[in-house]
Structure 1
Amino acid sequence: MPVATTTERAMLVSLVERRSHRQRTVIAVIAVILVGVFSLRAIAQQALNMWWFRTVSDVPIWRTTMVARLQLGAIALVITLVVTGASVYLANHRGAAEVDRPKGRILKWYEAKMGPAHTWLTVAAPVLFALWETRRVASKWQVWLLFREGRPTGIEVPELGGDVSDYLFKLPFWNLVTTWLSWMLVGAIALALLVYLVNRRISLTHFVSRSDQRAVAHLSVLFGLLAFVKAIDFMVVQQRSLAMSTSGAFVGAGYTELTVQRTTLYTLSLIAVVVGCLCLANLRFRLRRLAVIAAALWGVIAVVGLYLMPGIVTRLRVAPQEAIVERPYVENNLEATRSAYTLNDITERSLVEADPTPPSLYLPVSAGSAKGVPARVPLLDPGPYASTFQVLEGRTAVKITNVDLDRYKIDGELRPVLLAARSSDAGGLPQGGWEQRHLVYTHGDGLAVAPADEVRPDGRPDFESLTGEFEVDHPELYFGEGVKNWYAIVGTERAQQNGATFDADTGIAMNSIWRKGALALTQGELDPLVSDYVTDDSQLLYRRDINERLHTMAPFLKFGSDPYPVVADGRITWVIDGYTTSDTYPNSQFANTAGLAPDSDLTQGRFNYLRASVKATVDAYDGTVTLYRTERQGGDDPILDAWSRVYPGAFTPISEMPAGIRAHLRYPVDMLKVQTNMLGRYHVTDPDLFLDGSRNWVVSGDPGSDIEGSDPAPGGIPPVAQVLDTSTGEGPRWVGVRPFNLGSAANANSPRAALSAFALADNDDGEKLELLTVPSPDGSDGQTQIGGPSVVQAAINGDTELSQQFTLLSAGGSTVRFGAMTLVPNGKDVLYVRPVYVTANGPDATQQLVEVLAYADGLVGRGSTLEEALNNLRQPVATAPETVAADAGTPDG
């Protein structure tokens, strides 16, 4: 390494050194001003947050959160600054060693690069390091609050001991503490060592013979404290973290973890205490060699016991007899996983039951049809219909980007309906500028609504048929989707689009120069401060995007990917699912999140505990936010219990939710996807069957929408909602269905085409999930197999008449695509429904429903409606339970 000369300073050092005293003063003043501006902006943002929180909740969420941040930050700042600062001060206080002590090449290079800047560094480094650690520790305020408010669950953790709450609430906090202390001491050691090297009181090449005893004692104390911290880490954190080990065939403490790694951690903790005592003893005795030997032994045992031996024991002891050795630990994993994802609450029954009681979802047979007809199956898939809705129902300065599927009573009958919000469109404003963006075009324009189970004669959505069914008092959507980081100021002297007025008081009053200035400073815009349109009667509507609003108000919750609008009591209300998660639930498997939308919070980081405990609502007009606690999952959620103690009054019992909104709740979609992903393996409760994988399922593959079959969607077929008649006296129910095939998600070559089961999520209940299994899906008992979605798609692809029709429809460049593959439970049988769409070329082309396909017993029926497609199956009626068959008509042969 070439040694730098005194003229080869580091760039920043050289820049400062070459300046005159006046120039350095100017630079310092500019730096202070910049720091002041950024600090003032941060203060303005916190003031704006405080005012905003007062408009959305009476609960002191902002204050409680800020106090927790300050508590952690103050502790981290003071202790880190004292330890690192004192360490550097003591190292400098020793002074330089004899001038004739030789310098190494690295030291010469460093001195040449830094020069007098070394002194600045020793002053600035502890401060910057302390600020960095303070910010990192303060960001973990949720860990601190859960540690403080968590309570025992009464559930003991097998093998490792302790209550589940010790892992959910205490383990993350102790991990935070030991990590912070470890990094703090490492930083103090590094800074002190740097000073001692520059002062030549420590020699790395001749550490024992040429190092100053007091310098060595100083570093020994720091190393000793670090050893004690690691001892606590081994005993408390890492030992309990074995309950989340992923080294085996399942998550949790298995044979290897309990016999090898736990013993190693006990040993390492003991040696760490010995190393710490030897290091501290260097204050009076010269025990350097002994301390180094103990530290080396520590490292060797760590490598052997934590990395080498586990692999050897697993290969020689566990692998040859896994079912015997791991059986009790697999039972722990099964029990914990099923509890962590509430899989124990799922009702499981066979599709074909030897039970005189009719199955709860048996469909009555409709006269003139070949199969039982569901009450209403959606034929319009909401996913690809956003552009069609925009073309047919779009308005100026608004845009439809998302279509949602829900159910409503139309003329006394429960029917599936598509709803799409006309949200504000920042990219589609007729005129640009601050005034137009924030004062004029402030809101969306109501909903576009069409039935999902029928279309106009030309195959397009029938918006006119529901005219008058969805009247609302305030169609203006001030709060919704697609308006992130877009504020609006209402009640100004400037008229809003369409002459709208905002008559609520849920915004931030802009009645002082301080509030206007805070907004101007945080947004980097002078307009709010100088505009004559903004008066003392104006209100700031801030954080208008649903996800942005909820994430700021309740950052301790995770929210789903798809808020949907509900029309009830003359208002439009957004509904979204809120979840609590943890990654420290003992012995529970980490979630398989395949199929979740990328914008779902559940895709951000891993977790092995999940509760759908909250239903959040946001009024689309005035932005009122309410967090409702669900009955079953929310009532059995220790994490939400802790947050309820942190923020008393933040959660409202769901029994207090208005009936009109509650009638449109649904089973949480992301929860359903995670649970069904986990059920592929965890529907099995026998450890032997679990380990050999012979009963594994996989969520049926999504055949995609391309007629060539070239775009299979990843993550498995999504749940599809439909209205089903029941024979339980409850009337039609709005349920979501997701099918399984035999096979394993871990092996792409293992899935079989036969249907093995399907999950039914009762949206009308909101927390009820049922699993219907197919007896002997592999056909081993001689029963006829039921084909899965891939079998259905193969039958559709093999229909020559359909292929010819698709070719004709594609003529001229039109695009033919499939809609969702819908599995329809039909008593002891199932049928599949799949719509076919065609879209012409051009930017304003709309999608049309051209055909409905139905599949059962190997045959494909086609028609312009579902009824016609079922009639064209030309199959005999399935045997129905007597109580249902008595009311059923006789279909045509």
Structure 2
Amino acid sequence: MLVLLAAAVALLIVTGIVADFWTDLLWFRSVGFTRVFRTQLLTKAGLFVAFALPVAAILAANITIAYRVRPPFRPRRDTTTEELWRMFEARRRLVTTGVAAGVGLLVGWVAAGEWRVFLQWHHGVRFGVTDPQFGLDVAFYAFGYPWWRFLLGAAFTTVLLAMLVALATHHLAGGLRFEGRPRLTSAAQAHMSLLIGLFVLLKAVAYWLDRYGLAIGSDGVFPGWTGLKYTQANAVLPVKAIMASIAVICAGLFFVNVVRRSWLLPGIGIGLLLFSAVLIGGIYPVLVQQFYVRPAEADREARFIARNIAATRQAYGVQDARIQNYDAVTDVEPGQLRADADTTASVRLLDPSVVSSTYQQLQQVRGFYAFADLLDVDRYLIDGRHQDTVVAVRELNLSGLGQGQRTWVNQHLRYTHGFGFVAARGNTRNPDGKPTFVESDIPPQGKLGKYEPRIYFGEQSPEYSVVGAPPGAAPQEIDYPDDTSPTGQRNNTYRGTGGVPVGSLGRRLLFSLRFGEEKILLSSAINAESRILYIRHPRERVAKVAPWLTLDSNAYPAVVGGRIVWIIDGYTTTNGFPYSTRVTLDEATADSLTSPERQVITPREEINYIRNSVKATVDAYDGTVTLYAWDDTDPVLRTWTRAFPGTVKPRSAIPPELLAHLRYPEDLFKVQREILARYHVTDPQAFYGGQDFWRIPDDPTEGSGHRGRQPAFYLTLRMPDQPRPTFSLSTTFVPANRPNLAAFMAVDAEPGEDYGTIRVLQLPRTTAIPGPGQVQNNFNSDSRVAQIINLLRRGESDVVYGNLLTLPVGGGLLYVEPIYVKARSGTSYPLLQKVLVGFGDRIAFEN
């Protein structure tokens, strides 16, 4: 009975694996990225075989050798040992094969998981940049070093396991005895000397490889520091070479012991190695650091800090940031701000983090539609002018269905897609405080022209939907509400090419197993023309076809070429850039608006190099995934395109209409501002002191609940050295230990000649310009503002503070904060009623 039960469980597991494998293959075929699936599969299989077979063979050989060199006369041992020996001898081949195969399979499985490391090593291209200590190209550290480390670790594991199985076999066979004083037979001693010699030789290789690891090590001036310091370069580095030499000598003594068979010389070698590890490897560097470096640490470390500064700025792409002194004024002539603001900035008052519920109430149309909690900022050509707009798509929301409507047929066959694109001007409102929509309603109406409004692939799409029907069949999918229709709605039949055909019995069985749903197999509503849509989230689709990319936390929609497409920024990263400081992506990109749905997708937690190398799109109607090379000079991108040729289109293939909606990515900007908070300081002595470091201010608005740092903001502005306003991404800095403003930073976010140019306005240390927290306090404590706010809060209303924007205007810095009023009833939504403005110590609060 137990055997049958085990067989049934095994069959279920194997069937599930086969179903997942085959449906994954069908999905890759449907999106045209079969090469990615094949390359991953063959690489994993190749690594599995390349490691599993040698490890299994080595273990089997060592067990066999230990058995064959057993003593001819074996004295009787304790009962347990004798019983184990009889069992082993009776089933020796089975035990040998089982142990070797089991360990080999485990090692092969681990090796298969290192497919990314192997492909980067195998296809790696040069960076054209060398590290200052060893003169090696960065590619060695980014692509080669991780692979050699993995090989070394695999070799250590193999030799260690071989030692364990050899010792166990020698013990059972009588070659190793623990009764009284432990003793080895001559043959067992030769066998173990060889294995220990190999282990120590590998340790010598590890010592030598450790030297290069110091260039990407993280033991330094502050958390995240990468690279050698004075002690590592002048004490640890030569010590590693000495220890490698001693380990080679020690290994040689063990190899000699294979013939000489005396533990005296190997014992002396091990003693020398341990003594050297403690005295030379441990104590000597500590003495150098304590008594030579620390008394004059700033001077001793200056050369190495300079290396870290240069490498970090280059690795994060901020080496060309234009930092200029900005002696901001706090007072201007009457009317000057208004005149200047009219020509330099189109101030976006609509806050995408506040107005989602407004869009929901005004544009939801039915309860089974929904908008994202955080909307997006884009720009469109409206009435002949490019304008900042707050955009969203009306996605399907199955949780909005009534309890009685949540049947399998409704959730997977009828309610299959969202409908429509909504956009509002960023800098205006209508008289009652509602957004001024330029695209809205169902069917769509507005200024964006005709486009396919159906959203089958989105951020809130169901796990899977089955769509499609034979020609002439009555449409079954709920399309959109229509009061002119007898049924109150219009239905639709999907005619796109997205998804996988699922009409055959075999495929229905496969997908029933994948999703654990027998109705896929049994439902009569599924026909020969049916297609199943799955893996529908735009970021998940890109992550699956480009598993080597780190994806931005936000996919944003745009109307391009008559279709709604999702645009996703893809980053190429590494944590192997010598001397470049590491950051943790989750921490560097977190702010007061970060949510579990908007977190960076990354194959590694820490990085010290990043480029926005890929712009990806996902068609909301048919799910087509397209990858475009945005930075084709990036060595990491070139490495991956060699591994997956033909999967990334050149930059020249980007359609002009799509190019108009590409923007500088927010997560990259947040990483760069994290870096520039310290690395705007380029003098090693000043950097060591840290007195000029900045920090990103906390979000001061009540709406954020003080949950984190102030977000970066998209808006159109003009920096002092720019001839015209441009769509930009901006942030502010305050000194590390003070609340006043230290700097304002903006990057050109619009594709063009200056795209990606970072400009920083650095204020004098003695500046009186208030920081965001101080400005918010000034707003809150102003008697006139407080009086009006209190009036607005009376009765059944709440006040919601919008994003606190900062703009370089009139030779100073202007703060702008929209104020929303929201009724306290359950169906209320925020309406833009007033605007707070601050310049120096002056505050204005008007409609």
Compute the displacement of 1:63 (Å). Answer: 1.2
Residues 183-262 of structure 1: matches in 2 within 5 Å? 183-197=157-171, 201-203=175-177, 209-236=182-209, 238-249=210-221, 250-262=225-237
Using the size of structure 2 for normalisation, the TM-score is 0.88
Preserved CA contact (<8 Å) 1:365 1:371:
no
Compute the displacement of 1:262 (Å). Answer: 1.4
Counterpart of 1:226 in structure 2: which amino acid? F
Residues 3-18 of structure 1: matches in 2 within 5 Å? none
CA distance in 1, matches of 2:526, 2:287: 73
In structure 2, the partner of 1:822 is 805
CA distance in 1, matches of 2:247, 2:389: 65
Deviation digits for residues 174-226 of structure 1, max 9, x if unmatched?
0111112212222333333344445564356866x433343343333332222
Does the C-alpha gap of structure 1 residues 721 and 154 become closer, same or farther in structure 2, counting only changes over 3 Å? Answer: closer
Compute the displacement of 1:512 (Å). Answer: 3.3
Does the C-alpha gap of structure 1 residues 114 and 739 become closer, same or farther in structure 2, counting only changes over 3 Å? Answer: farther
Residues 537-576 of structure 1: matches in 2 within 5 Å? 537-576=529-568
Identical-pair percentage: 29
1:686 equivalenced with 2:683 (yes/no): yes
Instruction: Tell me which of 173, 178, 192 is aligned to 2:147.
Output: 173
Does the C-alpha gap of structure 1 residues 454 and 168 become closer, same or farther in structure 2, counting only changes over 3 Å? Answer: same
Instruction: Tell me which of 330, 337, 341 is aligned to 1:372.
Output: 341
Deviation digits for residues 385-424 of structure 1, max 9, x if unmatched?
3333223322343322241121222212222222122222
Give 3-state SS (helix, strand or coil) of 2:554's partner.
Answer: coil
Compute the displacement of 1:242 (Å). Answer: 0.4
Instruction: Tell me which of 370, 378, 389 is aligned to 1:406.
Output: 378
Give 3-state SS (helix, strand or coil) of 1:787's partner.
Answer: coil
CA distance in 1, matches of 2:345, 2:334: 10
1:456 equivalenced with 2:430 (yes/no): yes
Does the C-alpha gap of structure 1 residues 802 and 515 become closer, same or farther in structure 2, counting only changes over 3 Å? Answer: same
1:844 equivalenced with 2:832 (yes/no): no
In structure 2, the partner of 1:771 is 759
CA distance in 2, matches of 1:684, 1:109: 72
Deviation digits for residues 597-633 of structure 1, max 9, x if unmatched?
4621259510101111111111111111111111xxx
Residues 380-529 of structure 1: matches in 2 within 5 Å? 380-394=350-364, 395-402=366-373, 403-430=375-402, 431-463=405-437, 467-483=445-461, 485-491=463-469, 495-498=476-479, 499-529=491-521
Using the size of structure 1 for normalisation, the TM-score is 0.84
Counterpart of 1:712 in structure 2: which amino acid? H
Unaligned runs of 5+ in 1: 1-25, 354-362, 744-749, 865-893
Preserved CA contact (<8 Å) 1:741 1:757:
no
Deviation digits for residues 667-690 of structure 1, max 9, x if unmatched?
111110011110111112222222
Deviating more after overlay: 410-419 vs 462-471: 462-471
Does the C-alpha gap of structure 1 residues 158 and 80 become closer, same or farther in structure 2, counting only changes over 3 Å? Answer: same
Number of residue equivalences: 809
In structure 1, the partner of 2:488 is none
CA distance in 2, matches of 1:278, 1:472: 81
1:741 equivalenced with 2:734 (yes/no): yes
Preserved CA contact (<8 Å) 1:487 1:543:
no
Give 3-state SS (helix, strand or coil) of 2:309's partner.
Answer: helix
Deviation digits for residues 218-254 of structure 1, max 9, x if unmatched?
3333322222223222223x21110112222142112
Compute the displacement of 1:121 (Å). Answer: 7.2
Does the C-alpha gap of structure 1 residues 549 and 87 become closer, same or farther in structure 2, counting only changes over 3 Å? Answer: same
Counterpart of 1:851 in structure 2: which amino acid? K
Instruction: Tell me which of 567, 577, 580 is aligned to 2:572.
Output: 580
Deviating more after overlay: 653-662 vs 218-227: 218-227
Does the C-alpha gap of structure 1 residues 497 and 109 become closer, same or farther in structure 2, counting only changes over 3 Å? Answer: farther
Counterpart of 2:397 in structure 1: which amino acid? D
Compute the displacement of 1:487 (Å). Answer: 4.6
1:800 equivalenced with 2:800 (yes/no): no
Give 3-state SS (helix, strand or coil) of 1:453's partner.
Answer: strand
1:788 equivalenced with 2:786 (yes/no): no
CA distance in 2, matches of 1:560, 1:423: 21
Give 3-state SS (helix, strand or coil) of 2:711's partner.
Answer: coil
CA distance in 2, matches of 1:217, 1:31: 44
Deviation digits for residues 354-397 of structure 1, max 9, x if unmatched?
xxxxxxxxx99978937634542222221233333223322343
CA distance in 1, matches of 2:180, 2:797: 80
Does the C-alpha gap of structure 1 residues 805 and 233 become closer, same or farther in structure 2, counting only changes over 3 Å? Answer: same
Preserved CA contact (<8 Å) 1:59 1:648:
no
Deviating more after overlay: 123-132 vs 576-585: 123-132
Deviation digits for residues 266-311 of structure 1, max 9, x if unmatched?
1222233233333333333223343244234333433444444433
In structure 1, the partner of 2:320 is 345
Does the C-alpha gap of structure 1 residues 728 and 298 become closer, same or farther in structure 2, counting only changes over 3 Å? Answer: closer
Residues 145-156 of structure 1: matches in 2 within 5 Å? 145-156=119-130
Preserved CA contact (<8 Å) 2:216 2:579:
yes
CA distance in 2, matches of 1:283, 1:658: 70
Preserved CA contact (<8 Å) 1:150 1:165:
yes
Compute the displacement of 1:553 (Å). Answer: 0.5
Preserved CA contact (<8 Å) 2:417 2:455:
yes
Does the C-alpha gap of structure 1 residues 738 and 722 become closer, same or farther in structure 2, counting only changes over 3 Å? Answer: same
1:760 equivalenced with 2:755 (yes/no): no
In structure 2, the partner of 1:660 is 657
Does the C-alpha gap of structure 1 residues 187 and 385 become closer, same or farther in structure 2, counting only changes over 3 Å? Answer: farther
Preserved CA contact (<8 Å) 1:203 1:211:
yes
Deviation digits for residues 108-139 of structure 1, max 9, x if unmatched?
9999x999999987654433322222121111
Compute the displacement of 1:314 (Å). Answer: 1.9
CA RMSD of aligned residues (A): 3.3
CA distance in 2, matches of 1:469, 1:280: 82
Compute the displacement of 1:173 (Å). Answer: 0.8
Instruction: Tell me which of 292, 295, 303 is aligned to 1:320.
Output: 295
Counterpart of 1:753 in structure 2: which amino acid? N
In structure 2, the partner of 1:674 is 671
In structure 1, the partner of 2:239 is 264
Preserved CA contact (<8 Å) 2:716 2:726:
yes
In structure 1, the partner of 2:648 is 651
